[in-house]
Amino acid sequence: MAELYKNYINGKWVEGRSKKTFENRNPANRRDLIGLFPASGPEDVGEAVGAAKKAFAKWRLVPAPKRGEILYRAGELLRQRKEEIARVMTREMGKILKETRGDVQEGIDTAYYAAGEGRRLFGETTPSELPDKFAMSVRVPIGVCGLITPWNFPMAIPTWKLFPALLCGDTVVLKPAEDTPHTAVKLFEILEEAGVPPGVANLVHGTGEEAGAALVRHRDVQLISFTGSTAVGREIAAVCGQNLKRVSLEMGGKNAQIVMEDADLKLALEGALWGAFGTTGQRCTATSRLILHREIKKELTDMLVERAEKIKIGDGLDETTEMGPLINEAARQKVHRYVQIGKEEGARLLTGGAIYEEGRWIHGYFYQPTIFDQVTPAMRIAREEIFGPALSVIEVGSFEEAIEVLNDTRYGLSSSIYTRDVGRAFCALRDIEAGITYINGPTIGAEVHLPFGGVKETGNGHREAGTTVYDIFSEWKSVYIDYSGKLQKAQIDNVE
């Protein structure tokens, strides 16, 4: 009998109003049923938002340092249960244990960082232009925040949003991806144990079309923070714009790694393998384009193919596995369609390009590490986000051409260049159009204390992580205190 999980609303675990459920299965073995989760709808979302709205009145008055202490306890509990949660995460979304442990660690780091901000959360003080008058600015909470998160980082991304929101004094309703609801349950068990009061943090399972859309449209939700596809983000932005609702979007990427002729090729090889095939290519920061200088292209490409063909595919719970499955069959078919598109466009398939169903892996959503050569910047496989283990190799003849090719995309999240030339490195930092640039490192590897986000169609200008995330989840209030005992008129010409 499959275990039945529940929503978490107003401090209680409750069934969905409709009693309808959806299945959560292991993508490495679809015969493995993890559990049943509520297929929530507008009524469930309304109940959760109502609880959050009511709780906001008291939570916003809890001193920020006290809110930070609760988040610190949450971080400690995550640390204690890191291995348990990593295994839950690998079972339900597939990536290898080394990566899910890192996913939990991001949540731990974010909790500790947010706890520290509880004793900072700085405003600014400035001189007034008038005598006997004091001027300053402070942060104030926004209200109820709706958080919609993806499946590829089911602990890191929810905590990137939830912890800063709670620290700022907001209350939240989280709608996690329907592919990874179990990890969200584990997070909320920890929040409850850490002492988050009832109604302050609420969890509603369900699809984006039902629960997600209801959360976006609810009139008492003041802010939506969304991570996912550009297509869905565009729809959310339109709804929020019509209702003058604040919205933070973190969306797609078509990230590239440049390797110049003077690069350390062994180091560049390791970066390309990790960037392209880590998390089975299912990262918004994954390396999907490899831009190689013609002088080293053949040598590095040969090295890359040789290593890619040795990647051990299988269940991420096996410590020796190097690459797990894709999240579901739709994702696998999407990758396979792009492989066919690449062939039709004239790209040369060097390795992979097929569904992987060897031995006992026939019941999982596995795909071979895939590398295309002779890719041009105009090809669809070089322009559209595939979100899988598919890498396009593009040849260039100069540093300037490499930068031009890298920037020739509607996205702008992450980027990388391998070179020993410090001048080129600094020019790349200046000229690459992306929110993140790595020098002699892969396109993946963001740290929680630096801003995370991108330009162009990757987002709408906000940055998560670091101190910048607190600009998403708080409002600025300017405060003037006049102790002169008389009417003073600022912005009036008082010069005698």
Q: Is 250 assigned a catalytic role?
A: yes
Q: Phi-psi bin for 456: left (phi > 0), alpha (psi -120 to 50), beta?
A: left
Count how many Cα atoms sit within 13 Å of the Cα of residue 128 in the half-sphere of its side chain: 19
Angle in degrees, CA 137, 143, 146, rounded to 5 = 125
Buried residues in 297-330 as b, exposed as e (16+ CB within 10 A)? beebbebbbeebeeeebbbbbeeebbbbbbbbee
Residue with tokens 């699809």: 207
Q: Could you say which of 250, 385, 457, 464 is catalytic?
A: 250
Q: Is 401 assigned a catalytic role?
A: no
Report yes or no: 468 and 474 within 8 Å, Cβ to Cβ. Answer: no
Q: Could you say which of 145, 168, 240, 284 is catalytic?
A: 284
Q: Which residues are catalytic?
A: 250, 284
